[in-house]
Amino acid sequence: MEQLASAAAQPIDFSLVALFMRASLIVKIVMVLLILASFWSWALIVQKLLKFTAARADAARFDRAFWSGEPLDDLYDRIGATPRGPAERIFAAGMGEWRKSQDEVGAMIPGTQSRIDRSMNVAIGREEARLSRGLSWLASIGSTAPFIGLFGTVWGIKTAFEQIAIAQDTSLAVVAPGIAEALLATALGLLAAIPAVIFYNKFIADADRLGATYENFADEFSTILSRQLNEG
């Protein structure tokens, strides 16, 4: 009797590692999946932060170069066949089509304007696809992680009640550890989902703003080329 009382009086370890180790196999699998999803989510977030930062810097740098007064042919020759960023690739697509549309004597063949517009629209579509790549994973993690964690919690609570029935003891010392282990799965689900949802919304807004910037540039560039065509 004294030994039972002494065992009951021993403090219960509620550290995260102890809760994980005491959890059932299914709950452990759920926790591991959520931890991996959280790491994958943060890896995507860091990658996208760097990509969007570089895209904004590239757009600002190219905008300064484009409006510096340098002839467009010289700017295109300086960029060369390997543009460094999205804005340069869109410009190169339009300028490349402009040069391809010139015949042997330098005159423009019919339909030049529409081909230039289509070339830049295709380039813009590619850049928008690059910016949005991987965001579907963040959306999936943000929408499914809470439910995966909830599944782990429900399963853990089921296991806890089974242990209570086997022990035939409803004291807090028996009930609390099982409930705590089960709730840890929900906490991990929220830990994975909340950053994923926040940054997914941020990146979608950033992609829309950059896409609008590219489209505005394409419209301005198309207007300049159209004016030169009319003058020619």
216 vs 134: CA distance, rounded Å: 25
Q: What is the largest CA-CA distance in the chain?
A: 107
Strand ranges in the chain using DSSP code E only, listed in sequence order: none
pTM, entire model: 0.79
Average confidence (pLDDT) over 115-140: 90
Using alpha carbons, select from 36, 52, 59, 198 the residue that is nearest to residue 132: 52
230 or 93, which is more confident: 93
Using alpha carbons, select from 10, 8, 20, 7 the residue that is nearest to residue 180: 20
Q: Which helix (H) or strand (E) holds 216?
A: helix 172-231
pLDDT digits (tens, 9 = 90+) for 167-210: 776 666 666 666 777 788 888 899 999 999 999 999 999 999 99
pLDDT digits (tens, 9 = 90+) for 63-91: 888 888 788 888 888 887 778 888 888 88
122 or 160, which is more confident: 122
108 or 190, which is more confident: 190
pLDDT at 177: 67
pLDDT at 232: 59
pLDDT digits (tens, 9 = 90+) for 23-66: 778 888 888 999 999 999 999 999 999 999 999 998 888 888 88
DSSP 135: H
Half-sphere exposure of 84 (CA within 13 A, CB side): 10
Residue ranges covered by each domain of the chain? 25-98+109-145+190-231
176 vs 49: CA distance, rounded Å: 41
Would you mind telling me the total number of residues written for the chain in this entry? 232
